[in-house]
């Protein structure tokens, strides 16, 4: 169940960063970052600790000003007075959530609901959605790390925000709640909400974002869809075939210089080729007289792509 429909006028807020830079003292945290997130798009920020992701979030929220460059949310500077009416349209979950220990989960959520001008009736529904209904009357001091993270997620979702900014949102969540969390995100995205999310769990975020922005040392080393980044990286595609042992030589002739068939002990042969050779290679193999019992194509994973582009940013 989704926590309430989003009216048409509450579609996502667009984000535009243009040559954004930020330093703290002598430490240059962000260097000329340019990025656009369209309404309804999910953009994942990837990078090691210290890459600048949290600072980028602070800039988007208007908590700190940039040293140079421009940032706009829905065409407005988030640090300016004109942005105040839009603040209640943003849901934010920091990496390390912190709430008053003496308050109950229900009291915490109602406090944030009052700040956003939202009815308290939405609180009970959200607490149930994140699995905290039974603990709503317990003080936060009794909550585990995972329970505090759930409470943080509930407050971020209050009021059906038009922009969600989520910093490592699945930290401390069990597998079942992680699935629930991504189901909720999918619903928001389908209704046009803009989502910016950071995550170290690359296998978890793979195929769940429209584009991936890779940060290394405060620089944006790559941005694009997974397929675009796979193509740009030039990382190989692996094709695994199950063929009769006596047809390996025939496979060599079909493949030519496009790949090097490597047999394994389980009766499979693995080919490695470039992404733009994949379709032609498979077509030629299937059109030949080789008896293919099974075929499996493995493109480079998000983890492979991330490692490739992150290494390019080292030492810059």
Q: 176-218, pLDDT tens digit by residue?
A: 888 888 888 888 898 899 999 998 889 889 989 999 999 998 9
Token output for 168:
């490592």
State pLDDT tens for residues 256-274.
887 778 887 677 888 888 8
Reported confidence tier of residue 315, pLDDT bands at 50, 70, 90: very low
3-class secondary structure, 165: strand
Kindly report, residue by residue over 14-26, the tens digit of the pLDDT.
999 999 999 999 9
Number of domains in the chain: 2
Asked if residues 151 and 99 have their Cβ atoms less than 8 Å apart, the reply is: yes
CATH number of the domain enclosing 155: 3.40.50.300
For residue 2, count other CB atoms closer than 10 A to its CB.
15
Do 116 and 167 lie in one domain? The reply is: yes
Same domain, 116 and 153: yes
Structural domain contains residue 246: yes
Calpha distance 233→236 (Å, rounded):
9
Same domain, 185 and 269: no
Q: Integer distance in angstroms from the first to the last C-alpha of the chain?
A: 46
What whole-number distance in Å separates Cα of residue 2 and Cα of residue 109?
17
CA distance 227 to 207: 10
pTM of the model as a whole: 0.84
Whether 268 and 186 map to the same domain: the answer is: no
Higher-scoring residue by pLDDT: 121, 19: 19
Domain C-terminal end among 214, 230, 246: 230
Q: Is the pLDDT of residue 10 over 80?
A: no
Range of the domain at 265: 236-299
Q: What is the dihedral of CA 109, 72, 209, 40, to 10 degrees?
A: 80
């Amino acid at each position: 169940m989704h926590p309430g429909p989003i009216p048409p006028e509450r579609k996502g807020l667009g984000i535009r960063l243009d040559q954004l830079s930020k330093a703290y003292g002598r430490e240059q945290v962000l260097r000329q970052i340019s990025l656009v997130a369209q309404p309804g798009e999910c953009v994942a920020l990837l990078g090691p600790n210290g890459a600048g992701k949290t600072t980028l979030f602070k800039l988007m929220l208007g908590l700190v000003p940039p040293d140079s460059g421009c940032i706009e949310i829905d065409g407005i500077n988030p640090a300016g007075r004109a942005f105040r009416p839009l603040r209640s349209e943003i849901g934010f979950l920091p990496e390390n959530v912190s709430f008053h220990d003496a308050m109950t989960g229900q009291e915490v959520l109602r406090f944030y609901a009052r700040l956003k001008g939202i009815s308290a009736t939405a609180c009970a529904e959200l607490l149930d959605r994140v699995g905290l209904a039974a603990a709503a009357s317990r003080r936060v001091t009794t909550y585990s790390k995972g329970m505090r993270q759930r409470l943080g997620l509930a407050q971020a979702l209050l009021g059906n925000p038009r922009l969600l900014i989520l910093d490592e949102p699945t930290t401390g969540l069990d597998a079942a709640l992680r699935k629930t969390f991504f189901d909720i995100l999918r619903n928001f995205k389908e209704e046009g909400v803009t989502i910016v999310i950071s995550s170290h769990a690359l296998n978890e975020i793979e195929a769940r974002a429209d584009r991936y922005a890779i940060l290394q040392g405060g620089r944006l080393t790559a941005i694009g869809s997974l397929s675009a980044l796979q193509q740009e990286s030039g990382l190989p595609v692996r094709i695994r075939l199950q063929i009769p042992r006596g047809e390996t030589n025939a496979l060599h002739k079909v493949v030519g210089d496009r790949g090097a068939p490597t047999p394994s002990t389980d009766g499979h042969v693995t080919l490695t080729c470039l992404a733009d050779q994949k379709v032609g290679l498979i077509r030629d193999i299937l059109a030949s007289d080789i008896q293919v019992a099974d075929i499996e194509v493995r493109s480079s994973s998000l983890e492979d792509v991330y490692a490739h582009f992150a290494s390019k940013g080292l030492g810059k």
